[in-house]
A and B are shown apart, each in its own frame.
Chain A
């Protein structure tokens, strides 16, 4: 099955198609050429025999004119002594042979005066062979009755030539096709192998390994030029990504260092005030504000990094089912405390596998569950569900809360957007933005739906196979 798919893939390549068209064109040209040569040769040979026959007839006619039928018969007898390729028969009206070098009157559907072809038997080296001849039949009307004269040439040589052509032509076409297809297959396989190495490299790079480069061979052919150009482009991308990484790092460093000092000073003052027995509630509030500031900053940084894809190297095969189970377990007591039912629904047998970053997916799901619990009134229901179908794997969180009006849905994933209704509840306003960034990071889709009532947020991931499994060529392992 796999082999069949591989050969099918070979046949579908551009190279193979080009080769196929050329092979067919070439086979047609060769056939036409051979056919023309054959036709011409046959015509020439026929003309030659005809000429010889004409000459014989002229000679015999002379005899007949001069000496009558008896003279003609003598002439036929004498000429039959050393026949060569010539054949003569003189017969009476009932086709009884009077003279000549044929044993029996051949079956001719005759057209008197014109050239006819007929089969006859001839003994060669003691064996009887079926041969063909070409000649002319003349009825001779004399007072003694009607006689028939047949003058012919053996066309065995011509037949041999003809047979040579008729057997050569199909074989030639078959050989051209076989060689052409083999050559085409080899060429396509070669091209596929080069292209596959480029494809493999690019998908590894997409998966986060920015240091990979397309292999360049020594041949310096057009593929190598392409590979070198791609590699130059990759160098540039890698530099840009590294630059981006350095920028986020220095932004992080330059903001975290003063934030750290700020928090430390606050803690110090709190310690001093506490030691002096004073009220520290103001300081505590300031520390809480600082922590909120830090949380917002961290969330922003994480979103920026996730969006930029700088953490691509950390992708693993991930069981969404276990992520969902862990996060649900983490939030279940909180839901119960808020008098909500948190339910986890998973297909039997699990197997909702994606390629992803466990921490990011967990955090995205935690944000969704957190939101659902926050906005669903007591007595409501929150359902975490994993689902798997032909199109991919999905992870959804549905609640029975107020939901989000359809026109607001595209807006809530933007950074810092908080709906009027939730202005006063705690949170950075970055929760859904992070979910969107995580979705983007995994080539997944974040869909916000009406749960009637409530909100249903779904993360739809592509199958891991769609990106990991690259097309393979038949004998790649043998070639490596």
Chain B
């Protein structure tokens, strides 16, 4: 996958580019807004990672220009600014996701993967399947190996999100943001408890677990 990184902190940029390359992506980089914009407009990218504060042209400006030119590349904003309404501004300007510095690389990678997935044309799905786990989005029924699973509404949304990102790492923050719509980290890690409840419902009594904990990163649902 092709990724554009626009970041003026050169050390952070080097690390980011190296990490992304190690994860198997093709990466272009730019250190200011002008260059970033011309790259974004001249080549097709699957995801653009853009810092909020850039020399020559501010990150918000770059994305606004891209959208103006009909460019729909998913954009992940990186920001070192204080957060309260900066996220809203970033998303309003046309960003698709927002990550505050300092971030963990796994968090960034998981979000980049999610953005790419979002891009690939999806037919409107009415059922999701991972292995023998089956989620019907219309009747809101969950089954594993033809055995009905009773889920609370929030558990259903949690499982739906995980299954939509099957085979991808999903971080705790991503779950909090997407399933609970909270943009803050609770002091205690409450997500783990929700996950273990869900795990008890879908994996208990089955030989092959589907819901995996990825150490130091988050969770992933996948069939073996």
Contacts and interface: CB of A to CB of B under 8 A. Distances in A.
Interface of A: 248-249, 251-253, 256-257, 259-264, 267-268, 284, 290-291, 294-295, 298, 301-302, 305-306, 310-311, 313-314, 326, 329-331, 333-334, 337, 359, 362-363, 366-367, 370, 373-374, 426-428, 431
Interface string B161-187: 000000000000000000010111111
27 contacts: A252-B82, A253-B80, A253-B81, A256-B100, A260-B12, A261-B9, A263-B103, A263-B104, A267-B104, A294-B102, A302-B84, A306-B84, A313-B85, A326-B180, A329-B154, A330-B182, A330-B190, A333-B193, A333-B196, A359-B184, A366-B184, A366-B187, A367-B187, A370-B186, A370-B188, A426-B187, A427-B187
Interface residues of B, number: 33
B136 interface: no
Interface in B15-41: 15
A334 B186 CA distance: 12
Contacts of B101: 256-257, 259-260
Given A302-B84, A366-B186, A334 B193 contact: yes
Nearest to A333: B193
Interface string B67-86: 00000000000001111110
B82 A301 contact: yes
Contacts of B197: 333
Contacts of B100: 256, 298
A330 B80 contact: no
B88 interface: yes
Nearest to A430: B187
Contacts of A370: 186-188
Contacts of A268: 15
A264 B216 CA distance: 14
A310 B15 CA distance: 34
B80 A260 contact: yes
What are the 3 A-B residue pairs with the smallest beta carbon separation, nearest first?
Answer: A260-B102, A256-B80, A252-B82
A259 B186 CA distance: 21
Given A252-B81, A305-B82, A362-B182, A333 B194 contact: yes
Contacts, number: 106
- Interface core residue of B102, B180, B184 (most chain A CB under 10 Å): B102
Given A260-B9, A261-B11, A264-B15, A295 B80 contact: no
A117 to B, nearest CB: 91
A256 to B, nearest CB: 4
Given A257-B9, A295-B185, A426-B187, A310 B105 contact: no
A332 B216 CA distance: 25
Nearest to A268: B15
B53 interface: yes
Nearest to B185: A295
A428 B187 CA distance: 8
Nearest to A336: B193
A473 B180 CA distance: 44
A370 B83 CA distance: 22
B85 A311 contact: yes
Contacts of B154: 329
B32 to A, nearest CB: 16
Nearest to A359: B183
Given A253-B53, A334-B188, A427-B187, A260 B180 contact: no
Interface in B194-209: 194, 196-197
Contacts of A264: 11-12, 15, 102, 105
A430 B10 CA distance: 33
Contacts of A329: 154
Contacts of B194: 330, 333
Contacts of A248: 82
Contacts of A326: 180
A250 to B, nearest CB: 9
A301 B80 CA distance: 12
A333 B190 contact: yes
A31 B100 CA distance: 80
A256 B102 contact: yes
A260 B103 contact: yes
Given A333-B196, A366-B186, A426-B187, 15 more contacts: A253-B80, A257-B9, A259-B101, A259-B102, A260-B9, A262-B102, A295-B185, A330-B190, A330-B194, A333-B194, A334-B193, A337-B193, A362-B182, A370-B187, A374-B187
A330 B180 CA distance: 8
A331 B187 CA distance: 11
